[in-house]
Each structure stands twice: as C-alpha cells, then as structure tokens.
Amino acid sequence: MKRRMSALHTAGRWLARHQILLGGLLLAALLVPPLRRALESGMATHMLLQFPALIVAGGLLAAGLSPAWRQRLDACNAHGMAGLVFAALVLALAMVPRLLDLVLVDARIEVLKLAGLLLCGAALRLTWQAAGTVVQGFFLGNTLPMMAIAGTLYEEAPARVCNAYRLDEQQFVGLALIWVASALAALWLAQVGWRLTRPYTPAAPKAAR
C-alpha cells in the first residue's frame, strides 16, 4: 500500500512539473512581442485565441502551487464560490469593447489583462472540482448567457463597438461567442448527465484494525 501511494505521489509530482513547464512555455510564447501583436491585431485572434490561451496557461501554472498555499486558498474559497465569482468578473470585463481598445494603447491595461486572465485560469483549475454540480451550474448559468448576449450585441450592432477592429470581424466574433457559449453549455450538461447515469458502486468496506 505504501509503495503504491509513493508511486502515485511520484507520478503526481512528475505531472505537475510538466504542466508547469508547459504553462511557462505557453505564456512565454504569448508574451513574445511579434506573436502578441499579431494575435491582438485581429479581434477574432485576440478574443478567441489569445484569451483562452492565457486562461489555459494560468491553469497549467497553478499546478505549481504548494499544498500550504492551497490550504490557505481553500479556507477562503468554500465550495469554490470565491474563485468562480472572480473568474466570472474577469470574463465579463474581458468582453467589454472599451477595454479591448484600451489594451492596444495602454500598457497598464495590457498587464492587468494578462494577469487577470492568468489568475482566471488558475482560479478555474483550483476551484472547479470543489465547486460541485450546483455551484458549477450557477457559475455557467450566469457566465454563458452573458457571453451569448455579448455575442449577439457584437453580431447585430450596426456600427463598430471597438474602434480598433473592423465591423465584419466584430460580427464574426459575435457569432463565435454564441456558438462557444452553446457548446460549453452542451458539454457541461452532457458531463452532468453522464455522472448521474453512471451505475453506483459502493466503496469497499475498510478492513478492521
């Protein structure tokens, strides 16, 4: 039993190290000025590629958080509520057209965007499982409709809402946000349905000491 636990611990540390490395490489690539400028030059690549990539990088880097820090965060993050509220606020701000424009001309806003999306990814990773189905549903029930509404506004607005991007790009991003919100909702509902329909397997009784 001890040998098995030791092997699992070693495998966990190996996986965590590789996730940290992968997250660091992804973040470094996203921060390279030519690639960063190329991604931010188009509204679609900015919102649909760079934003998710930063969130993924933050989630991967969160694997390096020490157990002591995890315990501190868990103490103020009951049922994942605080982490998911923070993630929802970051995602809401990320879809504000004015902020998309400011990111391109103000380095301070750019730094806040990068930090916010990285922390959003870390928060989602550290709190998603602890949140449980009900809190996850509450989070998605607020975030995904907000994403779909923002997409509808982008798609149907008669004029550009972001001065830095073309109207046709704006319409494409709006439609994409609606589809992404719908796909995420369908995936989560399918996952919940699969968990509910799995046959129940009772835990094995503990051996008497």
The per-residue pLDDT for 108 is 94
The per-residue pLDDT for 171 is 95
CA distance 209 to 192: 38
pTM: predicted TM-score of the whole model, two decimal places: 0.86
- Of the candidates 186, 193, 189, 74, the one whose C-alpha atom is nearest the C-alpha of residue 130 is 74
The per-residue pLDDT for 39 is 95
Does residue 162 contact residue 101 with C-beta atoms inside 8 Å? yes
The per-residue pLDDT for 115 is 96
The per-residue pLDDT for 208 is 46
The per-residue pLDDT for 63 is 86
What are the pLDDT tens digits along the chain (209 aa)? 555 555 555 656 767 788 899 999 999 999 999 999 999 999 999 999 999 999 999 999 988 877 777 787 777 878 888 889 999 999 999 999 999 999 999 999 999 999 999 999 999 999 998 888 889 999 999 999 999 999 999 999 999 999 999 999 999 999 999 999 999 999 999 998 888 887 766 555 555 44
CA 98 → CA 53, 95, 109, 161, 172, distances in Å?
21, 9, 11, 8, 18
CA distance 94 to 96: 6
The per-residue pLDDT for 79 is 80
Structure tokens at 106: 């103000």
Does residue 116 contact residue 90 with C-beta atoms inside 8 Å? yes
Q: How many CB atoms lie within 10 A of CB 165?
A: 24
The per-residue pLDDT for 170 is 94
CA distance 137 to 128: 11
Domain boundaries, the chain: 11-65+78-196
